[in-house]
Amino acid sequence: MLIQKIYQELQDIPEDKLAEIYDLIHYFRLGLGQEQAQPRSPGLLTGKLGDAFFEPLPEEELQQWE
């Protein structure tokens, strides 16, 4: 059963990392609720983008993404 596999995996995670796993599960579950409550409708966004949107990111900010 899948729930038993999940329990087994949790038992093998060090105690000091359990808070990270809890956050992952908690926010994943909250996201599931939002998916059901707010269905997405495809299409273009209304409004206009400022010129800053099209400017390249500063090198310092680009380095944070690598």
Domain interval for residue 59: 2-63
Q: What is the pLDDT of residues 45-60, one digit of tens each?
A: 677 777 777 888 888 8
pLDDT of residue 38: 59
Q: Does residue 31 contact residue 40 with C-beta atoms inside 8 Å?
A: no
User: How does pLDDT run across 24-42, given as a tens digit for each residue?
Assistant: 999 998 888 776 555 666 7
Contact 13, 24 (CB under 8 A): no
Span 15-30, average pLDDT: 91
Q: Number of folded domains in the chain?
A: 1
pTM of the model: 0.46
Rounded Cα–Cα distance for residues 10 and 18 (Å): 8
List all residues 6 or more positions away from 21 whose beta carbon is below 8 Å from its beta carbon: 10, 13
Residue 49: what are its φ and ψ, rounded to 5°? -95, 140
